[in-house]
Amino acid sequence: MPPAYAVSPKVAGAGRPEARIMDTHLFSQLPLDENAVVMHCVAALRAAQWRVERSATTIERGIDIVAERNGARMYVEAKGVTSSKSGSNRYGMLQTSSQIFIQVSTALYTTAQLRAAEPHAEVMIAVPDHECMRRRLARIEPVLECARIGVLWVGSDGCVTPWNTSVLSA
């Protein structure tokens, strides 16, 4: 079956709009921003019978997802691999290696703080299932295991795959 298509305006040359055909199937293959990661994780957690108490967008401060199930608490720090700010120069573009490093570093520090404050809670990092994130997190895998910090890999199709955790088991 051929992919669906949409027409999108594109500015060409001296500000002339020009129609450009885009394969909409490609949208499902684009890297995810943090808001999309949160949205897909919330859906997966609800499907696994977690009650989501809080889910934050990138314009809000604090823990990205807080959930509860059968008396157990979960805290999730989410990161994306693209900018979610539509006015920024890098909107929709894959972050640089340095930016990914900062994202992973921030997520590790935040979840380490959560682990120290909540030793019995489930503590997670949720990130797009993208090669650049897999490379960075693979380097600190022993630390994540030791600190009991799980990872939720979020695919472009919305599929959430847990690593080092069973939180999505019902």
- pTM assigned to the model: 0.78
Q: How far apart, in whole angstroms, are the C-alpha atoms of residue 22 and residue 40?
A: 24
Q: Of the given ranges (24-33, 36-45, 53-62, 64-73), which has the lowest mean pLDDT?
A: 24-33
Domain boundaries along the sequence of the chain: 1-29, 31-163
Say if domain 31-163 classifies as CATH 3.40.1350.10. Answer: yes
Q: What is the pLDDT of residue 30?
A: 57
How does pLDDT run across 111-159, given as a tens digit for each residue? 999 999 999 999 999 999 988 899 999 999 999 999 999 999 999 899 9
The helix/strand/coil state of 74 is strand
Q: What is the pLDDT of residues 56-96, one digit of tens each?
A: 988 888 899 999 999 999 999 999 887 666 676 766 777 78
Q: Which of 145, 136, 146, 140 is nearest to 163 (CA)?
A: 145
